[in-house]
Amino acid sequence: MQNIADYLQKGKKVHLVGIGGVSMRPLALVLRDMGVEITGSDMNASVSTEELTRRGIPVMIGHSGDNVRHADCIIRTAAARNDNPEIAAARELGIPIFERTQAWGHMMKSYKDAICIAGTHGKTTTTSMVTHIFMKAQKDPTVMIGGHLPLLGAGHRVGSGDAIIMESCEYCNSFHNFYPTCAVILNVEADHLDFFKDLNDVKASFRTFAELTCEGGSIIANGDDENTMDALAGLPLMTFGFGEGATVRGVSASEDFRSLDVYIQNEFYCHLSLSVVGKHNALNALAACAVAYIHGISGEIAAKGLATFTGAGRRMEFKGKYHGADIYDDYAHHPSELHALLSSVKSMGYKRIICAFQPHTYTRTKALFDDFLWELQAADVAILAEIYAAREQNTVNVSSKDLADRIDGSYYCPTLQSVTEVLRDLAQEGDLILTVGAGDIYKAGEALLKE
């Protein structure tokens, strides 16, 4: 069996299939900084592929067997199946093929502290919060985030300190390739049901991830989340939450959860004044404080680090104003994320909340249809963009129109251009316009702001 360590070395030629993905792009840049010769390919041109090209990494748009002929090995995204032309060509030529998480896992072994942050929701925000704290503590971490963090000007960072801070995804059991010294589980819910059989299958995956924590390491888990506690029953845990029994406990001092005191083992640790709203973000901050505490960072430094965090890219990101309405963009693509988002913005004092939502993948939309219906009714006006297919074909016969037909006063928009047109007609002074989803819905709001 081939060892990926033999290939992630200076001078080796490595080709990344799906290089524009959220964890593939930073992987390409980190490997390039290590002296590995990188090429890549992606189905479509994007901001990510354009950035890689600007930074000197050749990117081919479209997949072809010719792209891999000179590579020493292939690293692929989870969405690149065996019938992908480049994967098929590599197999025919005998070129070793590795998963992206195998590459990240290999690099993880060289760090004293490998902090892996997992959960159905909140991974990007919490990884970003931990990064802010570690940067404030001058620990010079290496970082991989599944989004853009303004502090870094990117979604990744190569440091020379002892710690790597890693967003860790459960899809296709990707995080089972990691070697955490500190495993963080933010929440566990039924998602990625194109891969997992059901909620119990998801729980089993998270438990396996937690059990990968090295001897003497720490498992930090959301004590307020029943599924998390069920999945991790019997394991030694450091819990966080607002419940009385949490190891790291928050006591909120404000309705929007931006102001709270943090107690660790019943002793005052710090007071947080957050720039992000909502109980979900307060829980993310408590998880970040737990990570800081076990790595010897004082409450004062943790609070200062979190005070500088204003959000990660596409996580309640302010985009601008149009006709007096504030436009924000958010990556929420699961009913629980929609619930957290729409609940938190109700405290912001807007006259109307207009939510332009683009469901992500047909299987998720079909499996969680009723939950999406329920959550979207919390908006004053719901606009449904057509489903973003991502890696899928519509084999389950579902459309965003099916959602719109069941939501009073909603709009169905088959194209992003039509989303922009509806937003243009609706926008008024005092409105909050949200473009929401994990696909390209953000373009609808950006088009409005260019006018």
Q: Is 273 in the same domain as 124?
A: yes
Q: What is the pLDDT at residue 316? A: 86
CATH code of the domain covering residue 274:
3.40.1190.10
The answer to whether residue 367 scores a pLDDT higher than 90 is yes
Gap between the Cα atoms of 222 and 162, Å rounded? 26
Q: Is 303 in the same domain as 322?
A: no
Q: Tell me the C-alpha to C-alpha distance, in Å, between residue 144 and each of 24, 95, 107.
A: 10, 27, 11
In a domain, 243, yes or no: yes
How many residues belong to the chain? 451
319 class by beta-carbon count within 10 Å (0-12 exposed, 13-18 middle, 19+ buried): middle
Q: Is 138 in the same domain as 266?
A: yes
Q: Is 302 in the same domain as 193?
A: yes
What average pLDDT does the chain have? 94
DSSP state of 387: P
Query: Which of 100, 122, 146 is a domain's end point?
Result: 100
pLDDT, tens digit, 9 for 90 and up, residues 243-266: 999 999 999 888 889 999 999 999
Q: What is the pLDDT at residue 87? A: 97
Which residues have a Cβ under 8 Å from the Cβ of 271 and sit 6 or more positions away? 259, 260, 261, 262, 303
CATH code of the domain covering residue 39:
3.40.50.720
Q: What is the pLDDT at residue 18? A: 95
Q: Of 135, 117, 100, 102, nearest to 25 (Cα)?
A: 100
Q: What is the pLDDT at residue 130? A: 98
Q: Is 271 in the same domain as 133?
A: yes
Query: Which of 51, 67, 100 is a domain's end point?
Result: 100
In a domain, 251, yes or no: yes
Q: What is the pLDDT at residue 291? A: 98
CATH code of the domain covering residue 323:
3.90.190.20
Q: What is the pLDDT at residue 92? A: 96
In a domain, 31, yes or no: yes
Q: What is the pLDDT at residue 312? A: 83
Q: What is the pLDDT at residue 292? A: 98
Query: Which of 249, 283, 307 is a domain's end point?
Result: 307
Q: Is 140 in the same domain as 262?
A: yes
pLDDT, tens digit, 9 for 90 and up, residues 168-208: 999 889 899 999 999 999 999 999 888 999 999 999 999 99
Q: What is the pLDDT at residue 83? A: 92
Q: What is the pLDDT at residue 245? A: 93
In a domain, 57, yes or no: yes
In a domain, 106, yes or no: no
Is residue 6 within 8 Å of residue 98, measured between CB atoms?
Answer: no
pLDDT, tens digit, 9 for 90 and up, residues 150-169: 999 888 888 889 999 999 99
Gap between the Cα atoms of 108 and 142, Å rounded? 10
Gap between the Cα atoms of 274 and 279, Å rounded? 11
Q: Is 262 in the same domain as 193?
A: yes
Q: Is 171 in the same domain as 303?
A: yes
The answer to whether residue 22 scores a pLDDT higher than 80 is no
Provide mean pLDDT across the span 344-371. Answer: 95
- For residues 445 and 391, the model is more confident at 445
Q: What is the pLDDT at residue 290? A: 98
Q: What is the pLDDT at residue 110? A: 84
Which residues have a Cβ under 8 Å from the Cβ of 105 and sit 6 or more positions away? 177, 178, 179
| Total tally of structural domains belonging to the chain | 3
> How does residue 119 score in pLDDT terms, banded at 50, 70 and 90?
very high
> How does residue 146 score in pLDDT terms, banded at 50, 70 and 90?
confident
In a domain, 223, yes or no: yes
Q: Is 216 in the same domain as 236?
A: yes
Which residues have a Cβ under 8 Å from the Cβ of 9 and sit 6 or more positions away? 35, 36
Q: Is 290 in the same domain as 165?
A: yes
In a domain, 105, yes or no: no
Number of Cβ within a 10 Å radius of residue 291? 28
User: What range defines the domain where residue 327 resides?
Assistant: 317-449
Q: Which of 6-15, 311-320, 367-376 has the lowest average pLDDT?
A: 311-320
Q: What is the pLDDT at residue 332? A: 94
Gap between the Cα atoms of 447 and 451, Å rounded? 7
- Tokens representing 337? 């994320």
- For residues 306 and 24, the model is more confident at 306
Q: What is the pLDDT at residue 305? A: 98
Gap between the Cα atoms of 249 and 283, Å rounded? 9
> How does residue 347 score in pLDDT terms, banded at 50, 70 and 90?
confident
Q: Is 92 in the same domain as 119?
A: no
Provide mean pLDDT across the span 99-123. Answer: 93
Q: What is the pLDDT at residue 47? A: 80
- For residue 442, give the amino acid letter: Y
Q: What is the pLDDT at residue 451? A: 85
The answer to whether residue 380 scores a pLDDT higher than 80 is yes
- Tokens representing 96? 């070793």
Provide mean pLDDT across the span 84-113. Answer: 94
Q: What is the pLDDT at residue 358? A: 98
The answer to whether residue 351 scores a pLDDT higher than 90 is yes
Q: Is 293 in the same domain as 324?
A: no
